[in-house]
A and B are shown apart, each in its own frame.
Chain A
């Protein structure tokens, strides 16, 4: 690949628009009642309709429409109340009908935007052109047989949302953040699992370059087969320099469809403009229009779950958490769900966030779990937070002794565990005095140092008292008593 001087690339601006395909997690297919589940034995999730047999009549899956509206609302789109479907005609072995059922004239969602946070601290709204409903094709395997390609039609007819952005994206970072945000919305809405490796979320990128300050767009190339966010970014970076190199040499960019090779990080021509398909769209006569009422729209709007941005506002505002903590908690829906339940059981939001950011997350990371898989339920953790707040155990004991017990998912509450393991803070001042006296007696020379003004040795005494008391003391109260004892020696 040509290496370009940054003084050359700096003259150019990158222009990217993304098309995201999200497989909807409905039970049955878009227009037929066979299972839409991923996996399954080849050609098991099939019906006469998804096989494209003549004389079959498709019927629209109600849940697909509902999911499409949810995504539109989450992306701030206006919802088109009158929807029709169209046939997009082309021949391919894994498309038994000979056409894709899609929306051409009146997509269900129009306009809208997705805000993305960038590393510069700026939040940029990436505009959405539209979102439409369509069905997926089957799957071809070309490398399992010498002579033939193998066709599995389990995926044929699975509902898809195609989310089309405006050409608003100006860097690989913005593209990555946009995809991360779209995936997060899909997951919060529980309408798609967003797994790019399994193909339940796929992305095509329309990439062009132009001289900075230019108002018209350059010829664009569409890159297909991008199966991870990283690969989308790699393809964009590769195309940016490839296209500039051609223009700098006096060449011109052909409007081609390109394939991305993840092994080399380079693109190659899949179809030229001359080979472009002539899809001959026409209205699908077998599917009657969908008329959505304002009432239906309103009831879907009312049932929308809290979205990541709303939770972020709530956590940083109402709950007074730091931007960083709030950002980590909303990053994954599972974690946010857990936190939401946790704060329904305790009013100490700061402590709840600290537990999430510390002990809970490191346990999840170490064991490669999601918050939803935790044996420790939020209510039990809230019990532990309350136990600390009431001064009955200290933080260290809570984190090191009680938390690991709670993780085992026992029925016992934090308080019951603390009692059983004899970890409750002793309110008996005589007992505390004994521990202090013993510690002071153990290090007479340190006592002298303290009296000469070396206050740092206080930590050593506290450590000793903690050890001998097995943490069953109230650190603050003990600290005061210790100072008194040292000064009166």
Chain B
């Protein structure tokens, strides 16, 4: 796969990132390098090898269904760019 400007635009949109023209060129170069590296790895024969997803063999890290409330509404809202007494405020998501 070759990364072109169109692919970078699509990925940038999915990640909600805005890239300047020179940043795009930089990104095309970087991402092609990354894919080249992946191609190298793909040369290794992995037939019969299960994909490694988790870095540990642990399973069942479960928690009992018990309520623990450790932050307040005020604390929750504190870091938000915009809020009132009880809600986060965001740009209108849909127009009426």
Report whether chain A binds chain B.
yes
**Residues in A lying within 8 Å of B, measured CB to CB:** 26-28, 33-35, 41-48, 51, 59-65, 84, 89, 91-93, 140-143, 145, 147-153, 278, 280, 283, 285, 287-291
The answer on a CB contact under 8 Å between A27 and B90 is no
Which residues of chain A have C-beta atoms less than 8 A from B34's C-beta?
Answer: none
**Residues in B lying within 8 Å of A, measured CB to CB:** 14, 16, 53-54, 56, 58-71, 73, 76-77, 82, 84, 86-94, 96
Most chain B CB within a 10 A radius of its CB, from A33, A63, A290: A33
* A149-B90 contact, Cβ under 8 Å, with A47-B71, A143-B96, A288-B58: yes
Contact of B63 among A42, A61, A140, A285 (CB under 8 A): A61
The answer on a CB contact under 8 Å between A91 and B16 is yes
Kindly state the separation between the CA atoms of A44 and B58 in the bound complex, as whole angstroms.
Answer: 33
Contact of B54 among A46, A148, A153, A289 (CB under 8 A): A289
Give the total number of A-B pairs whose CB atoms are below 8 A apart.
Answer: 120
Contact of B73 among A41, A89, A141, A143 (CB under 8 A): A41
The answer on a CB contact under 8 Å between B89 and A289 is no
The answer on a CB contact under 8 Å between B62 and A60 is yes
* A51-B66 contact, Cβ under 8 Å, with A84-B53, A149-B92, A150-B87: no
Which residues of chain B have C-beta atoms less than 8 A from A92's C-beta?
Answer: 93
Which residues of chain B have C-beta atoms less than 8 A from A140's C-beta?
Answer: 90, 93
The answer on a CB contact under 8 Å between B58 and A93 is no
The answer on a CB contact under 8 Å between B65 and A26 is yes
* A142-B92 contact, Cβ under 8 Å, with A28-B66, A41-B86, A283-B53: yes
B63 → chain A closest CB, angstroms: 4
Q: Which 6 A-B residue pairs are closest in the complex by CB-CB distance?
A: A63-B65, A33-B68, A151-B88, A150-B87, A148-B89, A59-B63
* A60-B61 contact, Cβ under 8 Å, with A43-B77, A46-B73: yes
A138 (CB) vs chain B CBs: closest residue: B88
The answer on a CB contact under 8 Å between B63 and A62 is yes
The answer on a CB contact under 8 Å between B76 and A151 is no
Kindly state the separation between the CA atoms of A48 and B58 in the bound complex, as whole angstroms.
Answer: 24
* A289-B76 contact, Cβ under 8 Å, with A34-B68, A63-B65: no
